Amino acid sequence: GTTVLVPLNNSLCVPGHPSDVENVFIDVGAGYYVKKSRVQAPKYHETKVECIRTNLYTLQEAIQKMQENMSYPIHVMDQSQAQPPNV
Protein backbone atom coordinates (compact mmCIF):
# COMPACT_ATOMS: atom_id res chain seq x y z
CA GLY A 1 0.00 0.00 0.00
CA THR A 2 0.78 3.66 0.06
CA THR A 3 3.13 5.03 2.71
CA VAL A 4 2.36 8.46 4.17
CA LEU A 5 4.01 10.62 6.81
CA VAL A 6 1.86 10.98 9.93
CA PRO A 7 2.59 14.07 12.07
CA LEU A 8 3.07 13.36 15.76
CA ASN A 9 3.81 16.99 16.64
CA ASN A 10 5.08 20.14 14.88
CA SER A 11 8.51 18.69 14.19
CA LEU A 12 8.15 14.90 14.13
CA CYS A 13 6.50 12.66 11.52
CA VAL A 14 6.50 8.87 11.26
CA PRO A 15 5.70 6.67 8.28
CA GLY A 16 2.26 5.09 8.23
CA HIS A 17 -0.11 3.18 5.97
CA PRO A 18 -3.67 4.49 5.53
CA SER A 19 -6.37 1.89 6.10
CA ASP A 20 -9.07 4.01 4.39
CA VAL A 21 -8.02 5.99 1.32
CA GLU A 22 -11.54 7.25 0.56
CA ASN A 23 -11.94 9.32 3.74
CA VAL A 24 -9.85 11.87 5.60
CA PHE A 25 -9.99 13.50 9.03
CA ILE A 26 -10.16 17.29 9.09
CA ASP A 27 -9.01 19.39 12.05
CA VAL A 28 -11.96 21.64 12.91
CA GLY A 29 -10.23 23.28 15.88
CA ALA A 30 -10.03 22.84 19.64
CA GLY A 31 -8.57 19.36 19.15
CA TYR A 32 -11.64 18.05 17.30
CA TYR A 33 -11.56 16.19 13.99
CA VAL A 34 -14.36 15.22 11.62
CA LYS A 35 -14.37 12.46 9.06
CA LYS A 36 -15.05 13.62 5.48
CA SER A 37 -14.88 11.91 2.12
CA ARG A 38 -12.16 12.99 -0.29
CA VAL A 39 -14.91 14.81 -2.24
CA GLN A 40 -16.35 16.58 0.83
CA ALA A 41 -13.00 17.68 2.30
CA PRO A 42 -12.13 20.36 -0.30
CA LYS A 43 -15.70 21.68 -0.18
CA TYR A 44 -15.44 22.00 3.61
CA HIS A 45 -12.22 23.99 3.30
CA GLU A 46 -13.66 26.24 0.57
CA THR A 47 -16.64 27.01 2.82
CA LYS A 48 -14.34 27.71 5.77
CA VAL A 49 -12.13 30.05 3.69
CA GLU A 50 -15.20 31.93 2.44
CA CYS A 51 -16.47 32.30 6.02
CA ILE A 52 -13.09 33.69 7.12
CA ARG A 53 -13.07 36.13 4.19
CA THR A 54 -16.56 37.34 5.10
CA ASN A 55 -15.56 37.80 8.75
CA LEU A 56 -12.41 39.66 7.69
CA TYR A 57 -14.42 42.00 5.47
CA THR A 58 -16.89 42.68 8.30
CA LEU A 59 -14.03 43.36 10.71
CA GLN A 60 -12.34 45.73 8.24
CA GLU A 61 -15.60 47.68 7.86
CA ALA A 62 -15.99 47.93 11.65
CA ILE A 63 -12.40 49.16 12.04
CA GLN A 64 -12.90 51.76 9.32
CA LYS A 65 -16.08 53.06 11.01
CA MET A 66 -14.28 53.25 14.37
CA GLN A 67 -11.42 55.18 12.77
CA GLU A 68 -13.90 57.59 11.19
CA ASN A 69 -15.69 58.02 14.53
CA MET A 70 -12.38 58.77 16.27
CA SER A 71 -11.24 61.27 13.65
CA TYR A 72 -13.96 63.81 14.54
CA PRO A 73 -13.10 64.18 18.27
CA ILE A 74 -9.42 64.37 17.37
CA HIS A 75 -10.18 67.07 14.80
CA VAL A 76 -12.18 69.06 17.40
CA MET A 77 -9.36 68.73 19.94
CA ASP A 78 -6.81 69.90 17.38
CA GLN A 79 -8.99 72.90 16.50
CA SER A 80 -9.45 73.90 20.14
CA GLN A 81 -5.71 73.69 20.80
CA ALA A 82 -4.93 75.78 17.71
CA GLN A 83 -7.16 78.69 18.79
CA PRO A 84 -5.70 81.24 21.20
CA PRO A 85 -7.52 81.46 24.53
CA ASN A 86 -10.16 84.19 24.89
CA VAL A 87 -9.09 86.80 27.39
26-56: pLDDT as tens digits: 999 998 999 999 999 999 999 999 999 999 9
Other CB atoms within 10 A of residue 18 CB: 13
The candidate with the shortest Cα–Cα distance to 51, out of 82, 35, 28, 84, is: 28
- pTM summary value: 0.59
pLDDT tens by residue, 2-26 = 899 999 999 999 999 988 989 999 9
